[in-house]
Amino acid sequence: MQSSDLKNLNIAVVGAGYGGAAAAKALSLLGATVTVYEQASRIREVGAGIGLRPSTMDRFRQWGIAGAVRKVSSPSDYFEILTATGDPIMKEPWPEIDAFGETTHLIHRGDFIEALLSVLPDGMVRLGHKLERIEDRGDGAVLTCANGTTVEADLVVGADGIRSVVRRQLFSAGEPVFSGEHAYRAVIDVDDAHGMAVDDNLRMYIGRGTKVYLLPLRHRGQVSFDITALCPDATWAPSVTKDDLLKTVEGFDERIVSITRGLDMETVNCRAVYDIDPVGRWHSDSVVLLGDAAHSMLHHQGQGANSAILDAGALADALREADSIPEALALYQATRKPATDELQRISRQGWSEDEVDEVFPGQKPASQRPTSQRTASEPPAAREAEV
């Protein structure tokens, strides 16, 4: 689109998570007027770390914000996979380093969202605006928020996460799907890591039905300690005790058991893990989905947040390249959906058949069964946002 047309565009982004904040940055760089509507009155993130991949860092470089992200992250060269007792299985450099001349950066989720929001102009993000209803008028859309605000926009970007109102009202009635696993996440001091964080490598220890990730956050003197375990309890925010965690890491390296024993349970985020089935169409002529709203995936590939950032970049590119908004939205979907469909698929393959059979004898979790084999009550509706 011509830059004069882009400058006249009025864009509403729903959701100020990683996807919404990145979209706001990328789209405002086109010259469009962008406003972000976020339901929360304060942005909070789970205490945990993630890895920002080279392609993601490359987008930040293009947007002129790589410095803000680098300041609060540590470069990492390798990731390693080990057995539960620490025998090496594989050690590889992070993929994409050669393609982008950049490495993966390890970051605390809270620092990451702060860094993204800090590069947006004051007033661009409107907190306390929970979208209740969206009306697609073809050449624009109208948002109605729970606080009574009504907003008209030429283009609406639904970046409102796994339980997206935009997706469910306009594109797919499907509910989040329970994966049959829990994630327990905490950030601990490096001194409490029993000598397990000695460099900037991400290490994953694999036991039967349990994976333990140690993701160093050297710039903070901390380590993100994450346990993912098969578990049939689909409660969105399950109650989990220290004894439950200790049972989960039984048989792991004694130091992992000691870290677990030392955890302050008040700081441990416990949640059941959900994703969504692929959504057939992400856009109309004036509304488009992005990030988890479009393709929430399980975290076994560590790609959900990264994909949201790449979506934002691809959407801005498509608006620049295409002749109209509808054409741009089709181009955006064609560019991104094949990759995220595949990530959704492989992210569901986090466990071996017999591990799953052991925890779910005779009845696999919903995400590992085709939709046709799920009961009417599955998957249970998610009740609480991750933030």
Ligand X SMILES: Cc1cc2nc3c(=O)[nH]c(=O)nc-3n(C[C@H](O)[C@H](O)[C@H](O)COP(=O)(O)OP(=O)(O)OC[C@H]3O[C@@H](n4cnc5c(N)ncnc54)[C@H](O)[C@@H]3O)c2cc1C
Tell me the residue type at 370: P
DSSP string, 198-231: -SS-EEEEE-SSEEEEEEEEGGGTEEEEEEEEE-
Q: Is 37 in the site for ligand X (CB under 6 A)?
A: yes
257 vs 385 by CB, closer to ligand X: 385
Residue 373: C-alpha distances to residues 107, 132, 368 (Å): 39, 32, 10
Cα torsion 21, 57, 276, 383: sign: negative
CB 166 → ligand X: shortest distance, Å?
8
207 vs 350 by CB, closer to ligand X: 350
Of residues 9, 11, 32, 39, which one binds ligand X by CB under 6 A?
39
Of residues 1, 14, 106, 328, which one binds ligand X by CB under 6 A?
14
131 vs 196 by CB, closer to ligand X: 131
Residue 224: C-alpha distances to residues 50, 182, 250, 323 (Å): 8, 16, 20, 45
Q: Is 28 in the site for ligand X (CB under 6 A)?
A: no
CB 179 → ligand X: shortest distance, Å?
9
Q: Is 18 in the site for ligand X (CB under 6 A)?
A: yes
The residue range among 5-13, 25-33, 160-168, 365-373 that interacts with ligand X, by the rule CB under 6 A, is 160-168
**162: helix, coil or strand?**
coil
1 vs 288 by CB, closer to ligand X: 288
CB 228 → ligand X: shortest distance, Å?
7
Contact 81, 89 (CB under 8 A): yes
Contact 327, 321 (CB under 8 A): no
142 vs 385 by CB, closer to ligand X: 385
Q: Label residue 194 left, alpha or beta by phi (over 0 means left) and psi (-120 to 50 means alpha).
A: left
Name residues contacting ligand X, limited to 254-283 (CB under 6 A): 273
Name residues contacting ligand X, limited to 50-79 (CB under 6 A): 50-51
Tell me the residue type at 83: T
Cα torsion 173, 299, 24, 312: sign: negative
Q: Is 288 in the site for ligand X (CB under 6 A)?
A: no
Which residues 6+ apart lie within 8 Å of 271 measured at CB? 182, 183, 236, 237, 238, 386
Q: Is 84 in the site for ligand X (CB under 6 A)?
A: no
Give the closest residue to 213 by CA, choosing from 302, 345, 95, 305.
302
Max intra-chain CA distance, the chain: 63
Of residues 16, 196, 245, 382, which one binds ligand X by CB under 6 A?
16
Q: What torsion, rounded to 10 degrees, do the Cα atoms 134, 138, 140, 141 define?
A: -10
CB 376 → ligand X: shortest distance, Å?
25
**How far apart are the C-alpha atoms of 201 and 216, rounded to whole Å?**
7
Of residues 102, 160, 200, 285, which one binds ligand X by CB under 6 A?
160
CA 201-386-366 angle, to 5 degrees, is 90
CB 7 → ligand X: shortest distance, Å?
26
1 vs 283 by CB, closer to ligand X: 283
Q: Is 222 in the site for ligand X (CB under 6 A)?
A: no
14 vs 57 by CB, closer to ligand X: 14
Site string for ligand X, 301-330 (x = CB under 6 A): -xxxxx-x----------------------
Q: Is 170 in the site for ligand X (CB under 6 A)?
A: no
CB 164 → ligand X: shortest distance, Å?
7
The DSSP symbol for 279 reads P
Which residue in this structure is represented by tokens 């000691």? 258
1 vs 300 by CB, closer to ligand X: 300
Q: Is 291 in the site for ligand X (CB under 6 A)?
A: yes
Tokens of 233: 């309890």
Binding site for ligand X (CB under 6 A): 14-20, 37-40, 50-51, 130-131, 159-161, 165, 183, 273, 291-292, 299, 302-306, 308, 385-387
